[in-house]
């Protein structure tokens, strides 16, 4: 499918470099996802079915380069309740996809 300028339109794709990440309680850990989409996708993190917004607890960063993005989530001062499954979600007008990262205590 092409847009008006002839650009190929692509539903989002996600690559997760590390699907299993271990870190000790009391430390900070950063997990990441890579996405590709055109038109540009909206991307965000979810934990426990709740969208994560930047706070003192969670730091989010997205570096975009045309149709690619590198998403990073830093969880600060890990506690037992922070361990579990984190999802990076990317959606545009053509579709939605997600990657999953399991964070466990060492």
Per-residue confidence (pLDDT) for residue 55, from 0 to 100? 97
> Is residue 73, in this structure, part of any structural domain at all?
yes
- Structural domain boundaries enclosing 22: 10-105
Where the chain has pLDDT below 70, the residues are none
Q: How much is the pLDDT for 4?
A: 83
Establish if 16 belongs to a structural domain: yes
Contact 100, 85 (CB under 8 A): yes
2 is a domain residue: no
The domain that holds 19 is classified in CATH as 2.60.40.10
pTM: 0.93
Residues 35, 19: Cα–Cα separation, whole Å: 15
Q: Is residue 4 part of a domain?
A: no
Within a domain: residue 5?
Answer: no
Q: How many domains does the chain have?
A: 1
Q: Is 76 part of any domain?
A: yes
| Integer Cα distance of 77 and 26 in angstroms | 5
For 6-26, what is each residue's pLDDT tens digit?
A: 888 889 999 999 999 999 999
Q: How far apart are CA 85 and CA 99, in angstroms?
A: 10
Instruction: Decide if 1 is inside a domain.
Output: no
How far apart CA 17 and CA 9 sit, in angstroms, is 24
What pLDDT shows up at residue 66?
A: 87
Residue 78: what pLDDT? 97
């Amino acid at each position: 499918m092409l847009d008006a300028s002839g650009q190929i339109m692509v539903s989002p794709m996600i690559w997760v470099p590390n699907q299993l990440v271990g870190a000790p309680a009391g430390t900070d850990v950063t997990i990441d996802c890579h996405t590709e989409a055109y038109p540009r996708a909206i991307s965000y993190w979810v934990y426990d079915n709740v969208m994560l917004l930047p706070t003192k607890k969670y730091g989010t960063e997205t570096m975009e380069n045309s149709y690619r993005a590198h998403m990073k989530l830093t969880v600060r001062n890990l506690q037992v309740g922070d361990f579990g499954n984190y999802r990076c979600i990317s959606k545009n007008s053509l579709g939605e996809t997600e990657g999953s990262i399991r964070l466990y205590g060492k």
